[in-house]
Structure formats: structure tokens, C-alpha cells
Amino acid sequence: MESGAEILLKSVKEICPDITDDKLFVFASKLTIEELNKKDFFVPINKVQKAIGFIANGLVRSSFIDNDGNEITVGFYAKGDYATHYPAFITQQPSKYSIQCLEPTTMVCISYENLQWIYENLSGFEKYGRLVAEEILKRQQARIESFIFQTAEERYLDFIKCHSDLF
């Protein structure tokens, strides 16, 4: 069975095959592993996200509290996804969202500081970061557009289609 770090490194290599094993080794030295329990928060609401988390195993959800005090789920993320409120992470500002584990979850984490060091010192990783950021942006835009162009029923049916494993 692959470790969490091995899953992430494999993902990096698939996205950016030109990154050398030596650079991957240095990158791996900057990673930490977090084992979280069901209901643990990876990112509590109104806190600065200190690290971005690659989900090696498990399931998390992102949510916020609306003006009436209701908790609103905005997304689910599973193995192979990054758990982040990316705009808050890259600006190191408190997140308006929480990210909570729905089951025991293994996160492979990289701190903001280590990520900046990697971008500055390991060529090829800026491309990887850009491609990951583009994927996060596409998902966020799709979510926004679903509220503009789809009915609640259409969004629900799409959710069932895309996340059948959650049912």
C-alpha cells in the first residue's frame, strides 16, 4: 500500500513528468503527514490556513456559516484532491470557510513557507503549482456558474452524478 507522500509524489510526476527524482526527494523532505479523525477540522473557520493539504485518504467537506447562522456546505473533497480555501491560503488571511473531515483522513501537508521556498529553489514546481491552482480555479468557477445557470434540482442531480460514492 502506498504512503500518503508516495501518492502525492506520484501525482506530481504525472502532472509534471520533467521533475527529476532528486527534486522530488527535496520536495518530499518539506512535507508533513497529518492523521485526522472524523469531525476534526483541517481548517477552522476564521483561521489562517498554515498548510495546504493533499488528501491521501479520506473525505472532507468545506462549509461556511451564513448570516442566519446556518452551516452551508460548498464542496466535498476526496483522495487525490487538495483541501484548501486557496485565496485565503495564498494571501495568508483568515478563511471564511472551514474544512472538516467526514471520515478518518490522511493529509500530506506543505506549509505556506515551505511552498514558497520550493517555488524559489526547485525549478518545475512553479509549473506544478500553477496547474494545481488552475484546477482549483476551474472547480470554483464551475460551482459559481452552477448557481447562475442551473436550478437547485439540476445541481442536485449533477452532485449525485459526480459524487455517487457519497450516497
How confident is the model at residue 156, as a pLDDT? 75
How confident is the model at residue 3, as a pLDDT? 79
The grid coordinates listed for 53 are 493539504
* Look-up of cell digits 472551514: 98
Task: Name the residue type at position 59.
Answer: L
> pLDDT tens digits, the chain, 167 residues: what are they?
677 788 889 889 998 999 999 999 999 999 999 999 999 999 999 999 999 999 999 999 999 999 999 999 888 898 989 999 999 999 999 999 999 999 999 999 999 999 999 999 998 899 999 998 898 888 878 877 877 888 878 877 776 777 666 65
| Sheet with 41-43, side-by-side order of all strands | 41-43, 98-101, 59-65, 71-78
* Look-up of cell digits 484532491: 81
CA-CA distance, 72 to 24, in Å (whole number)? Answer: 38
Strand partners, 107: 34, 55
